[in-house]
Amino acid sequence: MKVACLISGGKDSLYACYIAKQWGWEISHLIAITPKKLSWMYHMENTHLIPMIAKSIGLPLLMKESNAEKEKELDDLKELIKKAGVEGVVTGAIASEYQRTRIEKICHEINVKSFMPLWHKNQKQLLKEMLDAGFIIVIDAVAAEGLDKSFLGKIIDGDAIAKLEKIEEKYGINVAGEGGEYETLVIDSPMYKKRIEIVEAVKKWDGSRGIYEVKEARLIEKGFDS
């Protein structure tokens, strides 16, 4: 099966891509849409690092900026899928019916299969599986009660999951961030030939939500600490 993976730089899309690779599928391209404003479909934070991720993985990247106009933004994705010339598209959707139905609609229109290997999986279990597989995940945005500035730039590990579970009990957030409570950036994974080192980043906090904006990053050999 020749497929393209829609990635954002976040944990879900890259883990879905990793699963497709484990299945033995041929991943010919990575696809990314970078929205100019808040989008119902696409991730916004630190998308400028996607080319670095593609370079580390060693796959061609098809990337396009979108005006993020609702429904029209789907045409941008359709264009890139056509350009990839694949049999299927792999995405990291877990529970969003909005994303699922629209991606499936695009794929149906151009006769391409849609694969969502994380769909309706146990989200806490998925998070733990990512860590067990060797994913290093940084929280790069928060937007939920109970998640404060201290979470910005935090690497998700066992302790972080335990804290998120306590916040879930108190405030009802989704531990995996599926409700938009937080966004992530994968700085290392089994697919990466080199890991991403964040050289400079700033925390932007408005009192209730915040972004960990990476200003400078580089690829370094795994196991190397500067």
139 by DSSP, 3-state: which?
strand
Where do the domains of the chain lie?
2-115, 130-220
166 near 200, Cβ under 8 Å?
A: no
Neighbour-count burial of 159, counting CB atoms closer than 10 A to its CB (0-12 exposed, 13-18 middle, 19+ buried): exposed
Report the chain's C-alpha Rg in angstroms. 17
What contacts 135, CB < 8 A, 6 or more positions away?
11, 14, 15, 18, 186, 188, 189, 190
> For residue range 109-136, what is the model confidence (pLDDT) as tens digits?
999 999 999 998 988 899 999 999 999 9
Q: What is the pLDDT of residues 43-69, one digit of tens each?
A: 788 999 999 999 999 999 999 988 767
pLDDT at residue 178 in the model: 79
Q: Is 216 exposed, middle or buried (0-12, 13-18, 19+ CB in 10 A)?
A: exposed
**DSSP assignment string, 35-55:** ESS--SSS--TTGGGHHHHHH
Cβ neighbour number for residue 157 with a 10 Å cutoff: 11
The fourth-level CATH superfamily of domain 130-220 is putative n-type atp pyrophosphatase, domain 2 (3.90.1490.10)
204, containing H or E segment: strand 195-205
Q: Are 64 and 34 in contact (CB under 8 A)?
A: yes
Helix (H, G, I), strand (E, B) or coil at 219: strand
Residues lower than pLDDT 50 in the chain: none
Residue type, 83: K
Please tell me the predicted confidence (pLDDT) of residue 188: 98
Q: Full-prediction pTM beyond 0.75?
A: yes
CATH H superfamily, domain 2-115:
HUPs (3.40.50.620)
